[in-house]
Amino acid sequence: MKLVRAIIRPEKLTDVLTALFQAEITGLTVTRVRGHGGETEIVETYRGTTAKKELTEKIMLDIGVSDPVLDTAIETLVAAARTGEVGDGKVFVLPVEKIYRIRTGEEDVSAVTPIAAEASA
């Protein structure tokens, strides 16, 4: 199992979610973050204070996937998040040793298998 951690543009979140859901990847966690990369710099002024905004708003996605799904997940995500402009973000793939589903105690692959039936309930 892997943890796919992607940093994307906030305005791409809807597209990425839609694409992932279509690829039947429905378990994920989203965090508001800020990033520094090669983006253009922003200068702000408040009265006499001039300041440079070093960080721009980004969204981080954490998706725990079983190995077979890994490639689909990355491809879907990268395709949906790309604009081609500097600042599109990165994907990190981290190894995961164990996954538990808190509700049931299920482990590993079955812990990240979406529960389609219940979901629609």
Partner 1 sequence: MRFLLCLLALPALALAEPAFAQDAAAESALSGADTAWMLISTALVLLMTPALAFFYGGLVRSKNTLNTMMMSFISLGVAGVLWAVFGYSLAFGDGNKWIGDFSMAFLSGVGLEADGSIPSLLFMAFQGTFFIITAALISGAVVERMRFKAYLIFISLWGLLVYAPVCHWVWSGNAWLGDLGALDFAGGAVVHINAGVAAVVAALVLGARKDYGRQAIIPHNVPFVLLGAGLLWFGWFGFNGGSALAADGIAALALVNTMLAPAATLTMWTILDIGRTGKVTAVGAATAIVVGLVAVTPAAGFVSPISSVLIGAITALPCYFAIQWRARTRLDDSLDVFAAHGLGGIMGALLTGVFAESAWNGGSDGLLFGNPGQLGIQALSIVAVMAYSGLVTFVILKVVGLVTSLRPGIPHEGMGLDIVSHGEEAYSDGEGIVLLLDEDARSSAA
What is the smallest separation between the CB atom of 4 and ligand ADP, expressed in angstroms? 8
Residue selected from 7, 8, 25, 59 as contacting partner 1 according to rule CB under 8 A = 59
Cα distance between residue 6 and residue 16, in whole Å: 11
Tokens 């105690």 correspond to 105
Cα distance between residue 108 and residue 103, in whole Å: 13
Number of residues assigned to the chain? 121
User: Could you give the string, one character per residue 66-105, with x where binding to partner 1 holds by CB under 8 A and - elsewhere?
Assistant: -------------------x--------------------
67, two tokens: 């190995």
Determine phi and psi for 111, rounding to 5 degrees.
Answer: -70, -25
Cα distance between residue 57 and residue 34, in whole Å: 4
Interface with a copy of itself (CB under 8 A):
2-3, 6-8, 17, 26-38, 40, 54-55, 58, 60, 62, 64, 74, 78, 81-103, 105, 111-112, 114-115, 118-119, 121
* Contacting positions for ligand ADP (CB under 6 A): 7, 27-29, 35-39, 56, 58, 62-64, 86-90, 101-103, 112, 115
